[in-house]
């Protein structure tokens, strides 16, 4: 009876940890989609009247620039920083390697 309870508890714990590791993987997979998003944000505006006159006077769109810098910071954190995800205090983020160890 005791052995059955231990085996059942172990299986439930491993299943829960695998779900949490999958969540960590999905959260950190966003770094692959952020590069084209960062490149597509245009921070420079050219007004239509000046385009017709062939004189280009540009201005900076500060809202777009702020958004681009925020997404770039997120990309840097996902690429080189610690992993996002469920966190165990002393052991770190729950990943598949965490489960194996």
Which pLDDT belongs to residue 8? 92
- Using a cut of 0.85, tell me whether the model's pTM lies above it: no
3 state SS for 2-36: HHHHHHHHHHHHHHHHHHHHHHHHHHHCCHHHHHH
Q: Is the dihedral of CA 30, 31, 37, 38 positive or negative?
A: positive
Cβ neighbours, 10 Å, residue 57: 11
Write the CA distances from 36 to 21, 29, 32, 68, integer angstroms: 26, 14, 9, 11
pLDDT, block means (10 residues), the chain with 101 residues: 89 88 83 85 69 62 86 87 75 77 73
Domain positions in the chain: 2-100
Which pLDDT belongs to residue 48? 62
Which pLDDT belongs to residue 17? 85
Which pLDDT belongs to residue 58? 67
Which pLDDT belongs to residue 55? 60
Q: Who contacts 28 (Cβ-Cβ below 8 Å, separation ≥6)?
A: 78, 83, 84, 85
DSSP code at position 77: H
């Amino acid at each position: 009876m005791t052995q059955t309870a231990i085996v059942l508890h172990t299986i439930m714990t491993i299943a829960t940890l695998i779900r949490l590791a999958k969540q960590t993987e999905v959260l950190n997979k966003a770094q692959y989609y952020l590069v084209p998003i960062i490149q597509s944000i245009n921070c420079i505006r050219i007004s239509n009247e000046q385009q017709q006159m062939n004189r280009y006077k540009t201005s900076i769109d500060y809202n777009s620039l702020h958004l681009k810098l925020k997404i770039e910071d997120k990309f840097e954190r996902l690429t080189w920083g610690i992993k996002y995800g469920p966190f165990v205090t002393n052991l770190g983020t729950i990943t598949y390697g965490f489960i194996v160890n």
